[in-house]
Amino acid sequence: MTHDTAPIPEPPQTGGAADRAEAEEFLRQFHTEQPTRTVALARRLEQVRAAIDRTGTYRRTTAELAFGARVAWRNSSRCIGRLYWNSLRVLDRRDATTPREIHRHLCEHLRQATNGGRIRPVISVFAPDSPERAGPRVWNEQLVRYAGHRRADGTVLGDPRNADLTDAVRRLGWQVREPGRFDVLPLVVDAPDDKPQLFELPRDLVLEVPITHPDCPRIAELGLRWHAVPAIATMRLRVGGIDYPLAPFNGWYMGTEIGARNLVDEDRYAMLPAVAACLGLDTGNEATLWRDRALVELNVAVLHSFRAAGVRVSDHHTESRRFLTHLAREEREGRRVPADWSWIVPPLSSGITPVFHRYYDEAEQRPALCPAAGDRP
């Protein structure tokens, strides 16, 4: 039995020079959309050209970095939740150099993003790749991920998507006394001029929600839970011709991400048969639509559980309408909105959501959050 596992990043390598044309394009966009700047565009272009000629790269101002990160979210073709792109909290962590510093800032990211359950969008931007040295990375696909423990018979206890990472952190010394289905993996920080280092996430920073159903108590007996903050850590932020390989970013969960993918996919937790059994459904005949009925009730359970716990979550119908609001707003501003249909359309009740019944512009735009290799819907 094989599983599609999350890729572990390649070791850091020295980055190339900043792309001069991208840098100039970004600065013109920044000064167009943010016209009240203390430094004139011509002067800033002159500064950046001189820095690239001298060093192969340049340092972006804090305001430029914040604008670039927000526009990268605005341009993210796989994200349905971009309506609030301009409210993204941007944490400038470019001066963090040691693994311990980086870990401390990653913990602070989780603290600010969790916000007592009132999840808020946050991005932390660490040092970029440059001609002299690579920027830092983490091996974890998200800041919070559950281990996938391989058994002797080839099956996996926990999340099969993270089986390779679980093997890797074990080789680095991580141990679990009694492996379970929802063991939070440590972070592996891979900084230049240092070996990869393991750091446990403080338990009080990882908010988790136990999954219960408002009408079916047996679902609670399955012992399911999920973490509150989906902080993606392996996407590369590219702004103005410079790559930032460590820029963890989060919004909040749409319920279907958990209830129709993470807990359901055959190569993840594959919980549909167990949920169907809790509901007393006839699973011997596909014509009973037991999979569909179990899927709906599991999603009801996810939304109910998060809301009962006071943790922000959205349903796919609401988020679909918000995305169309985002489209209309951007069109009024004269901006194109790239969107990948296979990611924008929810995996549950797709045909009765408004995002299903139209085509989208799939053009790549900069600034951008670039998906990790091997990522998929």
Q: Which residues are marked as active site?
A: 79, 82, 252, 257
The three-class DSSP label of residue 101 is helix
Distance of CA 16 to the CA centre of its chain: 25
Q: How far, in Å, CA of 80 to CA of 73, rounded?
A: 10
Length of the chain measured in residues: 377
Strand duo 89-93 + 122-126: pairing: parallel
CA 73 – CA 39 distance, rounded (Å): 25
Cβ atoms of 346 and 226 within 8 Å: the answer is no
73, 369 Cβ separation under 8 angstroms: yes
Q: At what angle do helices 20-33 and 62-74 cross, to 10 degrees?
A: 90
CA distance 237 to 313: 25
Long-range Cβ contacts of 21-25 (<8 Å, 24+ apart): 21/241, 22/240, 22/241, 22/366, 23/48, 23/52, 23/58, 23/240, 23/241, 23/242, 24/48, 24/49, 25/240, 25/366
CA distance 233 to 123: 10
155's tokens: 């099956």
Cα distance from N-terminal residue to C-terminal residue, the chain: 21
Which residues lie below 8 Å from residue 306, measured CB to CB, with a gap of 6+?
209, 228, 253, 255, 312, 313
17's tokens: 């020079």
